[in-house]
Chains A and B, each alone.
Chain A
């Protein structure tokens, strides 16, 4: 009955499989195990954590564990904890250990979009089977109370279906604005770190060079020069 959203995204350049999405169903999703009334809270708090961690990482470029010698931008920045934890629960990364291992903070958009898709799929499926799900959760119940519960949950689902995508889109618009300049910021950060190394090396060299007058003093050995004003021995 449910239309499967299973799909394979194929890279147009390489022809290799890059993403394998799970079926569009709430069954087996991370929302199956928690009560419906906690879905929205759980979803939004998770997204908020991921976004906040991402913004924090932007603010603290100087403290980021960067791989400045990485061959590409994506490899430079490791994912934040919340992003990694979320991706580990989502099919494209959960089913591919190598992909999870290579996860980068730059993939915040795909991860959150996939999480949103899973959330929307779970909401849609519950909406389609709402009568049954409510009866199951109410252990039967009477028709009147069930219909009230169905109306309540239906309103929540409709609201969440409208809210979740728009809120995420707007958030990613702000995040995307910052992310567009992030490669530059990371390049500059790497240049800065290299420059600091050079500065510190030069600081050491300058200290060594302070000894040059004595090292190269052709008139005496390595000792302090006599004070010209002192009486001769």
Chain B
């Protein structure tokens, strides 16, 4: 019974460490299918004259030690059938020997059967959620595969080119999917075949008992066992009471040949390179062909290998090579013979409490028995491997995000509350994925990107202009000078104007100046284009700020955004700067120009250059969000859709959507009326995201919708136990009681029945015991099924809720794609610049350009 308790304790304490193995003694003769393995086990249990070799050896050693009898296996088999052993001379003593053999064998076999039964329950429930290749069902990996397909990031398991000249974005089979951040890679069978052969031989050379223990010993990797992954993952705790001569002697035993074989596999994959290179914490899980493992390893044994980056400690914290069972069927049974001297082990004690290092050391918890599970990059995300954030019971909304309670990203927080201000915000319009690094990081290219150098000066040019933008320097810097106290225009608008010039130059090569191409005609057109864009944007901003409100016409010309932009564009590209002027709708008189210069427009942020900036985290930022947005766009500008550009990103839904979004934006931004504005057609509003009533650019701030959190399924163990108690009591026909032992059959209730005769009463008393045994047997049958269904229900509840949101998204996506088929594109292009009327210098018409 003591050994029985030890086994149960071991299974409960080490649900993942102790497990099952094949029952056959050698790999070559072992059954090849799951059913055959189970059948052989049952066969061994049922056959009276069959006895497990370990039990037989134990009985022989035991009777040698206690009775000084040299028994053979045949003697023991015969004793089980009631035949006295030949070595036994005294008939009276022999009868006792036979009885004792039957009792000892029966006891030991019962313990071993119990171990198998318990582990069978664990296997049937845990195997489906295992993630090792080759096992049945891989739900977690499949879910991660889904995330991998949908996510927008640059963890690259596959890449695609989306340049205009190539078309490598293509469909791929489901089998090529890999979970995030885990890739998979097929091993080279030619390289691995001899290594697995050696591993299989090392395992075959072990006894059945040692082989079973060895597979479980190395289930989380030989490097973990050896401490090679320290300090990220220290070696498992080995208690001092599990040495040779104890029942747990094989649990932690080092098998040198097996370790050496696993080390060779590790060495074979250590030099592998990956394209793209592995990210920190990203791992590669190697796939060994099933046939290769069947041919080389003992039956039901599989090998796994995982590679990662070197890590900060240069120790490959997540990389390892280990063993596992294809279908766990047998636990590490309590040892019956000492590995040291082959003496029988007559019993044992519970192992001592594992030692957990103090939390103050800041170390991760030691991988205690079973905690090796948490050294797996996927499994460590599960409930068993993450701490719970325990909130104050009186605090219904614990503020776990406060500075005093730093957030542990690995912890599970059951209840959190977020303030509205804590929602992430992003800027609508430009650069849809600016806050997502969906492309691999690339170095700064001065030919296509730009840095800004904005500074305030008393004077920026000899013409006393409010602002000046210089061409890009060789290192990609665009210099913007803003006059400290501009007279004719507030510095906000001047900076916004100059930023548009910077935007025009930002994707051009250093030194490019559209107004100095060497061709006077092109220079004039270029000046009109770039100044026109900048003045139209500036005028639009001023109009929305109400600068032109209540302005009266001057010389019959209305003062509004259009006339302001036209007049100043024409002036800036006029004789003063050596140009011939631009197309205008009106003939702007000197009187009109003087009036514009003396408008005395006021800025809401300040009249001096320094006043329009604020200090955010030590960095100056424009107070006006529109200005700051444009600065941000400029600094992160990358025109992914420029002709000939080759863009690389992982072929995922999110990444593709980012690319499409950026192409759309780039299209609208580069070929628009005004820089950084996104009218899709001529008649569209320039800033569709602005507040239409006030014109305030608050609409530039987009609040992301909150994440649709997947609720954790309710787990109420006390209720579950009560239900089980109720079930037990119902079996006995009684109301629920706790503990359920109170529902046991009351023997004295027989006396409450009318007395018929003594025989009937005795029969009823005897039947009482049977009734109770039946109820207990039923409970034993019921409990695993009960527990399995509760566990499955928890899993199902969570995953179905989580997948429902995804189903909704997919439904919408399908609708969108169907709608795309009904889109009709215009057959006529917008008119080009050449179709516009030529610039006029005389009293002009009042016509408005039909397109630009």
Using CB atoms and an 8 Å cutoff, list the residues of chain A in contact with chain B.
Answer: 44, 47-49, 51-52, 55, 58-59, 61-63, 159, 162-163, 166-167, 170-171, 173-174, 176-178, 180-182, 184-185, 187-189, 191-196, 198-207, 209-221, 224-225, 228-229, 231-232
Contacts and interface: CB of A to CB of B under 8 A. Distances in A.
B642 A178 contact: no
Interface stretch (B159-167, B194-202, B382-390): B159-167
B35 A218 contact: no
B500 interface: no
Contact of A63 (B162, B175, B641, B651): B175
29 contacts: A48-B34, A48-B36, A48-B39, A61-B142, A171-B35, A173-B121, A177-B788, A184-B796, A191-B806, A194-B810, A196-B149, A196-B174, A198-B813, A201-B817, A202-B660, A203-B651, A205-B656, A206-B656, A206-B660, A209-B663, A210-B640, A210-B663, A212-B641, A212-B667, A218-B830, A218-B831, A220-B832, A225-B643, A232-B522
B430 interface: no
Given A48-B36, A171-B34, A177-B123, A216 B137 contact: no
Interface in B515-566: 517-519, 522
B397 interface: no
A185 to B, nearest CB: 5
B153 to A, nearest CB: 14
Interface string B111-125: 000000000110111
Contacts of B830: 218
A163 B46 contact: yes
Contacts of A162: 46
A199 B177 CA distance: 12
Given A206-B656, A232-B519, A51 B137 contact: no
Nearest to B512: A228
Interface stretch (B128-136, B268-276, B757-765): B128-136
Contacts of B651: 199, 203
Given A171-B34, A212-B663, A182 B170 contact: no
Given A181-B137, A181-B796, A204-B169, 7 more contacts: A48-B36, A174-B34, A181-B792, A199-B651, A202-B660, A203-B169, A232-B517
A217 B509 CA distance: 21
Interface in B15-42: 33-36, 38-39, 41-42
B833 interface: yes
A180 B784 CA distance: 14
Interface centre among A51, A174, A184, A205, by most B CB within 10 Å? Answer: A174
A212 to B, nearest CB: 4
B663 A184 contact: no
A163 B121 CA distance: 19
B127 interface: yes
Nearest to B784: A173
Interface of B: 33-36, 38-39, 41-43, 46-47, 120-121, 123-129, 134-137, 139, 142-143, 145-146, 149-150, 160, 162-164, 167, 169-175, 177, 327, 508-509, 512, 517-519, 522, 640-644, 651-653, 656-657, 659-660, 663-664, 666-668, 670-671, 788-789, 792, 795-796, 799-800, 803, 806-807, 810, 813-814, 817, 820, 829-833, 851-852
A170 B42 contact: yes
A interface, by DSSP: helix, strand, loop or mixed? Answer: helix
Contact of A191 (B127, B519, B659, B803): B803
A163 B831 CA distance: 87
Contacts of B509: 228-229
A193 B173 CA distance: 9
Nearest to B134: A59
Contacts of B47: 159
A58 B39 CA distance: 21
B269 to A, nearest CB: 23
B75 to A, nearest CB: 22
Nearest to A180: B792
Interface centre among B128, B803, B852, by most A CB within 10 Å? Answer: B128
Contacts of A177: 123-128, 788
B38 A171 contact: yes
Contacts of B169: 200, 203-204, 206-207
A192 B643 contact: no
Interface centre among B46, B519, B656, B792, by most A CB within 10 Å? Answer: B656
Nearest to A49: B33
Contacts of A182: 128, 137
B803 A188 contact: yes
A112 to B, nearest CB: 10
Contacts of B660: 202, 205-206, 209
A213 B665 CA distance: 9
Contacts of A52: 33-35
B643 A58 contact: no
Interface centre among B34, B160, B519, by most A CB within 10 Å? Answer: B34
A199 B33 contact: no
Given A62-B175, A210-B162, A212-B663, A198 B817 contact: yes
Given A196-B171, A214-B643, A209 B136 contact: no
B149 A199 contact: yes
Given A174-B120, A206-B162, A206-B656, A189 B35 contact: no
A58 B666 contact: no
A130 to B, nearest CB: 20
B792 to A, nearest CB: 5
Interface centre among A63, A178, A189, A221, by most B CB within 10 Å? Answer: A178
